[in-house]
Amino acid sequence: MQERFGNRLNLKIHLANSPEAAAYPLKGATNVFVGREWVSLEVATSTEQMEAYLNKILANTG
């Protein structure tokens, strides 16, 4: 997604046991957030759905 959205998206990857993840009640190994909003696994694992989701979010922010 970083390649598709370029500088409009600031991608960060953290492990579930990282300090950045400590504030979230993570239940599984795969968790995706946009900002502080959790993204469903169905959306997060679908290129088409995730792209549409990010387009919507980015259109509303700027």
How many degrees, rounded to 5, is the angle at CA 62 between CA 14 and CA 54? 45
Structurally, how many domains does the chain consist of? 1
User: pTM of whole model > 0.85?
Assistant: no
The residue range of the domain holding 20 is 2-61
Query: pLDDT, tens digit, for every residue of 3-49?
Result: 888 888 888 888 888 898 888 888 887 889 988 899 999 999 999 99
- The whole-number average pLDDT for the span 51-62 is 88
Q: Residue 43's closest CA among 32, 27, 57?
A: 32
